[in-house]
Amino acid sequence: MTATLRYSDDGLVTQGLSRAQLPRHIAVIMDGNGRWAQSQGLPRVEGHRRGVKSVRNIVEECARLGIEQLTLYCLSSENWKRPRKELDFLMSLLEQYVIEERSDIMRQDLTFAMIGRRDGLSQGVLREVQKTVDCSRQNQGMRLCLAVNYGSRAEILDAVRALAREAASGRLVPEEISEDEISRHLYTAGMPDPDLLIRTAGEMRVSNFLLWQISYAELWVTEKCWPEFRTPDLFEALRDFAARDRRFGGLNG
């Protein structure tokens, strides 16, 4: 398979960036689909459908930039409170997306992953997700990770329970539990922590998303709703990220 053409160093310079300034891992809270649709006089589900176009655009651009991982918050564990009709549509849209994008995932040499609890997800979604995970396993490009039925507190709870079982069986000494050990029991085991967290629709909260992993992530919020988010907005976020002074609790200079 032929990977998507990457940005040259000169191409990045025209965007006011260098390769060394790019984040390794970008996470996105894709908010505002329903609000955008309602502002356009459309049903909420049309916002989700339009949001898929933004996903395609941003996945393509991040792959061209050589970003190591892009994680998209597709469905939170709290979203099950929404109307059944909307949830059924989201499941159908997710299954359709995974099927339709499989060829592009292979063309762009992406690896595909999904994090979150499987409970409640349709068999169709689970089947198609696994197919895409399996067929992209040997790819070498960006990891595209979808967070579906995901909640960070549930993730941490599952990790704690797993550690407790290991301690109870004598395979783990509680005093030897480290941050790295906890990270290895999270859904994101083996993945880098996000460097940049983007949130659309102007909301100033992290909504139970990757709470452990974003401890030192830079946050960037835009008033634009997700269906409006495109390449120029991504580069605006990247330029802002590049200008940040990331000290990780220490001092520079």
For residue 111, what are the domain limits? Answer: 26-243
HSE (CB half, 13 Å, CA atoms) of 170?
0
Determine which one of 31, 139, 195, 233 is catalytic.
Answer: 31
Predicted local confidence at residue 1, as pLDDT: 39
> If you average pLDDT over residues 123-140, what whole number do you get?
97
Q: Is the pLDDT of residue 95 over 50?
A: yes
- Kindly report the CATH number assigned to the domain that includes residue 78: 3.40.1180.10
Q: Is residue 216 part of a domain?
A: yes
Predicted local confidence at residue 198, as pLDDT: 98
Q: Is the pLDDT of residue 52 over 50?
A: yes
CB-based contacts of 190: which residues, under 8 Å, 6+ apart? Answer: none
Q: Is the pLDDT of residue 220 over 80?
A: yes
Predicted local confidence at residue 2, as pLDDT: 45
Model confidence, pTM: 0.93
Across 151-165, 174-188, 210-224, 239-253, least confident range:
239-253
- C-alpha distances in angstroms, 44 versus 1, 21, 32, 87? 37, 37, 10, 11
Q: Is residue 251 part of a domain?
A: no
Q: Is residue 65 part of a domain?
A: yes
Q: Is the pLDDT of residue 253 over 80?
A: no
User: Cα separation of 30 and 44, whole Å?
Assistant: 14
Q: Is residue 20 part of a domain?
A: no
Average pLDDT, the chain: 94
Q: Is residue 116 part of a domain?
A: yes
* Angle at alpha carbon of residue 14, lines to 9 and 16, rounded to 5°: 90
Band the pLDDT of 46: cuts 50, 70, 90: very high
Q: Is residue 89 part of a domain?
A: yes
Q: Is residue 107 part of a domain?
A: yes
Q: Which amino acid type is present at position 34?
A: G
Determine which one of 79, 104, 109, 208 is catalytic.
Answer: 79
Annotated active-site residue 31? The verdict is yes
Q: Is the pLDDT of residue 241 over 70?
A: yes
When divided into structural domains, the chain yields a total of: 1
3-state helix, strand, coil in the chain (%, to 5): 50, 15, 40
Query: Which residues share a beta bridge with 115?
Result: 147
Band the pLDDT of 84: cuts 50, 70, 90: confident
Across 117-121, 136-140, 185-189, 230-234, least confident range:
117-121
Which tokens go with 92? 């159908």
For 185-209, what is each residue's pLDDT tens digit? Answer: 999 999 999 999 999 999 999 999 9
Band the pLDDT of 245: cuts 50, 70, 90: confident
